[in-house]
């Protein structure tokens, strides 16, 4: 029996999880509300909020899992990428526990963990998990990647964004519409009531499996500016259709490249992951495309899509099985190590 305790602190969620033999026993997330009024994450405030939340989140994760610290076989943390001050809080806290309890320390890459969220099985439900090799479209606030995953610890990026991430495309579009940060979930909410074919936005022409969202953002900005000159209430009067239309273009850009990746590699086990995979338009269009293309499709449950520690714990579990441990000199890094 292997019991892992994991911390995630790369951005604005302080999260802790306990995983036993690959099954998640607890997944506690404290989302930092303080950033809302600044329209984006303020790094210094994020670090301070992590310091305040990390002990209560840890206590709760252990309590829900029904384990004590002495039951833990290894301690894991997010090493990179992320905000350096935020990562340091999680890293140093986890190192102290590893040192005090004399148990191995495991460092986890946040983007690898988003992909492996697809290997999480709910406790009583043996739901299907992808077999290897699989493709994963990983879409978050900072990354947009198509990853070819050969085994839990062996994956390579075969396509990625050249500029903005898909999450940024959502958040920046929301900002143009005057919606608060993070705007992705709000675009999703309003889009449910709207017509995604009402307004047409250009599809970027990028070779291969890479993405670009900066041109789409500029086209959207000019479109809204021009419509507001004609009717100053344009946004208020058409919010659902505007949200549905920009969402539908972002989703089609993502899925067209994923389709291309599957056809080029011949891989039909296909997953999505990362914060943007919580988007209902992406989830339903992904399932529909999967049916058309004959894929087996996999989407993590909502709680494992946005930042969470369960994905860090499951990744650490596979690292534990492969004895990939760190000594206490390990340091986090803001960029991918
Ligand atoms: O993976 P994540 O929680 O954090 C990072 O590692 O970046 O992703 C956060 C991103 C934000 O851009 C947020 O707006 C977006 O995911 N997001 C969504 C939805 N939920 C979260 N975007 C669109 N629709 C959603 N439902
Ligand atoms: Zn993330």
User: How wide is the angle at C-alpha 255 spanned by C-alphas 254 and 259, nearest 5°?
Assistant: 130
| Same domain flag for 165 and 294 | yes
Among 26-35, 68-77, 99-108, 121-130, the least confident range: 121-130
Residues spanned by the domain of 88: 3-120+305-321
Q: Which atom of ligand 1 is nearest to the CA of 166?
A: 12
Same domain? For 143 and 269 the reply is: yes
Sheet holding 74-80, edge to edge: 23-31, 13-20, 3-8, 74-80, 105-109
Q: 84 with 178, same domain?
A: no
Element (H, E) at 283: helix 280-293
Residue 283 lies in a domain: yes
CATH code: domain of residue 281: 3.30.420.40
Residue 128 lies in a domain: no
| Closest Cα to atom 16 of ligand 1 | 275
User: Angle formed by the axes of helices 43-65 and 84-101, to 10°?
Assistant: 40
What confidence tens digit (pLDDT) does each residue in 135-150 have? 999 999 999 999 999 9
Residues 107 and 165 in one domain: no
Q: Is the peptide bond before 81 cis (omega within 30 degrees of 0)?
A: yes
Sign of CA dihedral 68, 73, 75, 80: negative
Over 60: is that where the pLDDT of 246 sits? Answer: yes
Residue 328 lies in a domain: no
Three-state DSSP state, 125: coil
pTM of the model: 0.94
Please answer whether residues 276 and 184 qualify as being in contact, where contact means their C-beta atoms are separated by less than 8 angstroms: yes
Q: Is the CB of 290 under 6 A from ligand 1?
A: no
Beta carbon of 182 within 6 Å of any ligand 1 atom: yes
Burial class (CB in 10 A: 0-12, 13-18, 19+), 23: middle
Domain assignment present for residue 335? The answer is no
pLDDT at 218: 96
Average pLDDT over all residues of the chain: 95
Contacts of 260 (CB under 8 A, 6+ apart): 209
Q: At what angle do helices 234-265 and 214-230 cross, to 10 degrees?
A: 160
Do residues 109 and 143 make contact, with C-beta atoms less than 8 angstroms apart? no
Confidence of residue 121 (pLDDT cuts 50, 70, 90): confident
Nearest ligand, CA 29: 1
pLDDT one-digit tens code per residue, 162-202: 999 999 999 999 999 999 988 999 999 999 999 999 999 99
In a domain, residue 196? The reply is: yes
Contact 326, 76 (CB under 8 A): no
pLDDT for 127 beyond 80: no
| Alpha-carbon 273 to chain mean position | 6
Same domain, 310 and 295: no
313 shares a domain with 290 = no
* Residue 327 domain-assigned (yes or no): no
- Ligand 2 ion: residues within 5 Å (CB): 140, 307
Assess contact for 118 and 85: CB atoms under 8 A.
Answer: no
So what's the pLDDT on residue 87?
Answer: 98
Same domain, 24 and 91: yes
* 23 and 145 housed in the same domain: no
Per the model's pLDDT, the better-predicted residue between 43 and 79 turns out to be 79
In a domain, 330, yes or no: no
* Mean pLDDT for the stretch of residues 226-255: 98
Do 312 and 295 fall into the same domain? no
Q: Mutate which of 81, 188, 275 to test ligand 1's pocket (most atoms within 8 Å of Cβ)?
A: 275
How confident is the model at residue 126, as a pLDDT? 55
334: in domain: no
Q: Round to whole Å and give the CA distance between 103 and 195.
A: 54
Ligand 1 centroid to residue 44 C-alpha, Å: 21
Pull the structure tokens for residue 149: 């995953």
d(CA 83, CA 85): 6
**Percent over 70 (pLDDT), the chain:** 98
Find out whether the beta carbon of 8 lies less than 6 Å from any atom of ligand 1. Answer: no
CB atoms within 10 A of CB 89: 24
Q: 3-state DSSP call for residue 206?
A: coil
Task: Report the domain count for the chain.
Answer: 2
- Percent over 90 (pLDDT), the chain: 91
Burial class of 90 by CB neighbour count within 10 A (0 to 12, 13 to 18, 19+) = buried
Residue 292 and residue 317 in one domain: no
Cβ of 159 less than 6 Å from ligand 1: no
CB of 138 within 6 A of ligand 1: the answer is: no
Which DSSP symbol is given to 122? -
How confident is the model at residue 169, as a pLDDT?
97
Per-residue pLDDT at 263: 98
pLDDT band at 336 (very low <50, low <70, confident <90, very high): confident
The token pair that represents 50 in the structure block: 């992590």
Query: What confidence score (pLDDT) does residue 337 get?
Result: 55
Q: What is the pLDDT of residue 41?
A: 85
Q: What is the pLDDT of residues 269-315, one digit of tens each?
A: 999 999 999 999 999 999 999 999 999 999 999 899 999 999 999 99
- Yes or no: say if 51 and 9 are a contact pair by the CB < 8 Å rule: no
Do residue 35 and residue 150 come from a single domain? no
């Amino acid at each position: 029996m292997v019991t892992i305790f994991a911390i995630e602190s790369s951005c604005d969620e302080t999260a802790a999880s306990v995983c036993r033999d690959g099954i998640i026993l607890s997944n506690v997330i404290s989302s930092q509300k303080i950033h809302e009024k600044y329209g984006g994450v303020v790094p210094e405030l994020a670090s301070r909020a992590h310091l305040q939340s990390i002990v209560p989140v840890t206590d709760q994760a252990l309590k829900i899992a029904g384990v004590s610290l002495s039951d833990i076989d290894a301690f894991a943390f997010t090493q990179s990428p992320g905000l350096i001050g935020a990562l340091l809080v999680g890293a140093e806290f986890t190192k102290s526990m590893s040192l005090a309890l004399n148990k191995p320390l495991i460092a986890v890459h946040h983007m690898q963990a988003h992909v492996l969220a697809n290997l999480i099985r709910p406790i009583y439900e043996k739901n299907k998990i992808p077999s290897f090799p699989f493709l994963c479209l990983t879409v978050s606030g900072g990354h947009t990647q198509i990853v070819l995953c050969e085994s839990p610890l062996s994956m390579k990026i075969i396509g990625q964004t050249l500029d903005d991430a898909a999450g940024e495309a959502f958040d920046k579009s929301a900002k143009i519409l005057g919606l608060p940060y993070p705007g992705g979930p709000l675009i999703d909410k309003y889009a449910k009531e709207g017509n995604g074919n009402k307004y047409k936005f250009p599809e970027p022409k990028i070779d291969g499996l890479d993405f670009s969202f900066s041109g789409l953002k500029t086209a959207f900005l000019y479109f809204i500016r021009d419509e507001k000159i004609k009717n100053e209430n344009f946004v208020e009067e058409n919010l659902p259709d505007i949200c549905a239309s920009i969402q539908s273009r972002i989703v089609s850009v993502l899925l067209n490249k994923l389709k291309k990746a599957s056809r080029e590699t011949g891989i039909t086990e296909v997953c999505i992951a990362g914060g943007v995979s919580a988007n209902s338009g992406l989830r339903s269009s992904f399932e529909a495309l999967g049916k058309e293309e004959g894929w087996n499709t996999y989407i993590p449950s909502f709680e494992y899509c946005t930042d969470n520690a369960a994905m860090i714990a499951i990744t650490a579990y596979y690292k534990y099985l492969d004895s990939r441990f760190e000594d206490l000199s390990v340091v986090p890094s803001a960029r991918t190590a």
